[in-house]
Structure formats: C-alpha cells, structure tokens
Structure 1
C-alpha cells in the first residue's frame, strides 16, 4: 500500500472511532472528553512511601503472611544457631543431598564438614550442563535471601553465575535464611535499589517466593509441591 492509502485508512478509522465515542456520550447525556485527564500523582502516595513498621512488627507480619501461604518460620539469634538448626533438620528429614548457593555467608557455615552423611554441593561446583539435574535431585535447597517483605510475606532472591535460580526452584525443600535487617515493610523498599542499579550490573533474575509451590490447574484441585519445593522454611536470623 502507498502512504496515501494508509493515511486515508487511518483517517477513516479515526472518524469511525470519533462517531462511536460521540454516540455513547450522546446516549449518556455527557460531553465528549477531548483532553487527557490530569493525574496529579504518580506511583505510590507519600503516606505509603513513608509507611515503615518497627522491626518486631515487621517480623510478626511477615511470619503471619508467610504462614498463611503454607510456609514455616524459624526465629534464631545467630548464624551459628542457623547452622545447628539446618544440620538437625537435614538429619530429621534424612536428606542425602543439600544444594546451596555460592554465598559468603553459606561458605562460612562449613556445612560440608557438619553434614558428613549428606552430599553438600555449592551451585557453581558441578559442570554447567549438570547443575539443573543436580538441583532436581536435591532434597534441600539453601539460600540467603536478598530481601524479604513483611506486607506480602515474600522472599526476594536474585540469580547470577554464582547463584542459580534452580537452587530455590527445584529441590524438594527450601531453607531460606533471612537476616532480619533485610526484612522490609513494603515491596517498593526491596525494588527501589534495583531502579538505581546500572543495567550492566543488574542480576540475571529477580525471583519472589511466597510459600511452597502450589498448583490448581487441573479441576481446581490444589496440589502442593508439583513445580517446586513443597516445604519451605524462612529462617529469621538476628
């Protein structure tokens, strides 16, 4: 088609649109709006941006919302306490393989020595082509979250070459360590730092976890753990 034909078709379309809207306005007894309405506010209002709960209230609200989604909360004081809890729970579950992210906090726990009866694997240890299969065969996935959000009861984890998303998506159970200083009140608090991050430095992925995996696709029959961990623990430390 030539440009003249395209312009003529566009004019005809706009004319029909104008007539259509005009007919509706006439039937409603209202004038046709010809200017875009003004929006004096953009984004969250000031009162919501200023909303910030004290720490203990954040912890209580997160625990409540996380529990409503089927997750479990453990409150501990130190990372040494977290290590002892992880070792005990892994033994209780009879875990044969624990897959963890390559994170400094997890390196310091030295779980390989603390769990001699289980295979403890860091994400970046197996060859790249084998990592997904290793994750799918793991009994426990272990991560330290980037942020947690009290108001939504969710965890935020990012992925990179050293932090595979499969660690939190494929094992049977997920243990997520949440340093309490990373627990925000609102979702915007967790997302705002990403807005200020240069594009080249953004993580490969940003994932939000709100309880165990669940599916009700087939006849609305709710099933837990079909597409990911069926048991999830948020381990609040601090």
Structure 2
C-alpha cells in the first residue's frame, strides 16, 4: 500500500526528533561587549560621537581661544551672557575676559543660556555626564534653552562604565543626588513622529574642550 502524505510527514518528524538538536555556540563572557572605538584616540572618538548625536563641538587651545569661541557662539545664536554659578568656572571666565551672569536674577524669564562643568565625557556614545554636586545644581543643565559645557581632554573616557567609576571614585559614599548622561540636545518624536527639539531640556548642547595645560585653574 502506498505511503500516504500524512505518513510521510510523520516519518520525517520522527526522524528529526531522533537526532539531537545542535547546541548554540557558548558565548565568550570575557570578550568586550562593544567593538573597538572607531578611533584609537578617545578624544577624537568623543568629538565624532558627540557631533553625530547633534552636539556642537568647539576645541579651545587657550583661554584666549575659549573667549573667541564663546563670543562667536553668542553672536551666531544671538544670546546674551550665560548663567554661570560654579565659582571655578567664574574665575576661569574672569581670567578669559568673558562676561557671565553669576546671580539668579530673572533666571526663569531669561535663562536662554547656561555654562556648566561636567563629571566626564563618554567617547562611545558622545554623552556628557553631569551631576548635581556642583553649584550649577540640577537647573543649569536642564532649564535653559541652550546648554554650554566646559570640559578638559583628560575627562574623556571610552565607556559609560568608566564614567560612572570616575564619579564613584570622586564622591565615594556621598554620591550626588542626581547623575545624568546627556546625549545630544533634548528631543522627542512622540507626537505624530515629528522631531521636536527642546521638549524636555535644552534644544542646543555645545561643548567647549579646553586644553588641560591652558592654565592652572581646575574645572
């Protein structure tokens, strides 16, 4: 009697079940999770990643160059002096001859520009790690329409984990009440998939990277 189609299918199933399924390859848990950075120089890799996510990057080789870069930014964006609340940044800007607003007068109404320091810069993602431990608190990196960051090449690390370890080493058990990774300007496309900048924070993020040996005032 000829074998029916049903019998043929069942025979193939029985044959397949009789052979053990191959095991998936065992993962190498010691291998890096991410591939190597596109550039072996972490500072260059950060600059590329930072611009790729929408940040504006400015290299400053000296205090004079910093003053020129800041003035150019303010002129292009047609904004006034930034709010700066960190004493060390204020001292650096005074040395550079850059005007800033040190008080909180009319901050809510006129907070179009702020300048803060940061804890670390992450080359992998182009992120800026900020915390509430500085005099800038939570507000200066969130509320103003445009956020400027002043940092050093020595603050650049390759991965997010390294940046978090920098914070842990600095503060120990007294961790800041807020630690935030900022990756590009604030944006959302929740409504009708239309990209909107500045929805939950600054619509523009710019970083000024000042050489470590430009002067002896730490950030």
Residue of structure 1 in register with 2:129 after alignment: 156
Instruction: Identify the residue that residue 154 of structure 2 maps to in structure 1.
Output: 181
Q: CA deviation at 1:155?
A: 0.4
CA–CA distance in 2 between the matches of 1:135 and 1:158?
21
Partner of 2:112: 139
Residue 67 of structure 1 pairs with residue 47 of structure 2 = no
**Cα 1:184/1:109, change in 2 over 3 Å:** same
- 1:166 is paired with a residue whose SS is coil
> What per-residue deviation string (whole Å, max 9, x for no partner) do you get for residues 17-56 of structure 1?
xxxxxxxxxxx9xxxxxxxxxxxx9xxx65549x997997
Task: Tell me by how many angstroms 1:206 deviates.
Answer: 0.8
Aligned-residue offset at 1:96: 3.0
Equivalent residue, structure 1, for 2:77? 93
CA contact (8 A) 2:130 2:181 kept: yes
Q: TM-score, normalised by structure 2?
A: 0.71
| Alpha-carbon offset, residue 183 of structure 1 | 0.4
SS in 2 for 1:188: helix
Distance 1:177 1:136, change over 3 A: farther
Q: Provide structure 1 residue ranges, at least 5 long, that are not aligned to the other structure.
A: 1-27, 29-40
Q: 2:185 aligns with which of 197, 208, 212?
A: 212
Tell me the CA shift for residue 154 of structure 1.
Answer: 0.2
Say whether residues 1:78 and 2:62 are aligned partners: yes
- Whether contact under 8 Å (1:213, 1:224) holds in the other structure is yes
Runs of 5+ unmatched residues, structure 2: 1-16, 18-27, 212-219
Higher helix proportion (structure 1 or 2): 1
Of residues 93, 98, 101, the one that matches 1:121 is 101
Instruction: Find the residue that maps to 1:121 and give its secondary structure.
Output: coil
Q: Distance in 2 between matches of 1:94 and 1:86?
A: 12
Question: What is the alpha-carbon distance in structure 2 between the residues aligned to residue 46 and residue 76 of structure 1?
Answer: 39
Distance 2:150 2:40 in 1: 17
Correspondence for 2:88 among 104, 115, 131: 104
Could you say what the CA RMSD is over the residues aligned between the two structures, in angstroms?
A: 3.2
Q: 1:135 to 1:56 in 2, by over 3 A?
A: farther
Aligned length: 185
Aligned equivalents of 2:94 and 2:111: distance in 1?
18
